[in-house]
């Protein structure tokens, strides 16, 4: 199985991703005005920030290993026994 133990590097990477996602959610209007098409993309930028927050939480909890392992077993069941 792919899970040997908890990796502290993924924890700090997840914290950095979570902080970046929180900053995107907090400042989504300024980001959408400057980098996207303005008012019409406020919700898209906020959704991107929430996705980054969710991905950061998954990395902090070290669940990405389990998710990737599940997907690999779905694609190639006989390769990983």
Per-residue pLDDT of the chain (81 residues), as tens digits, is 455 678 889 999 999 999 999 999 999 999 999 998 888 889 999 999 999 999 999 999 988 888 888 898 899 888 766
What is the domain range of residue 40?
Answer: 9-75
| Cβ contact 45:24 at 8 Å | yes
Residue 38 lies in a domain: yes
Residue 81 lies in a domain: no
Residue 1 lies in a domain: no
Count how many domains the chain has: 1
Q: What is the 3-state secondary structure (H, E, C) of the chain?
A: CCCCCCCHHHHHHHHHHHHHHHHHHHCHHHHHHHHCCHHHHHHHHHHHHHHHHHHHHHHHCCCHHHHHHHHHHHHCCCCCC
pLDDT of residue 69: 85
């Amino acid at each position: 199985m792919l899970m040997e133990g908890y990796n502290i590097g993924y924890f700090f990477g997840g914290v950095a991703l979570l902080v970046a996602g929180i900053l995107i959610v907090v400042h989504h209007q300024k980001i959408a005005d400057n980098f996207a098409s303005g008012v019409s993309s406020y919700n898209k930028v906020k959704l991107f920030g929430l996705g980054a927050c969710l991905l950061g939480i998954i990395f902090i909890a070290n669940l990405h290993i389990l998710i990737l392992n599940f997907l690999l077993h779905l694609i190639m069941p006989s390769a990983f026994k």
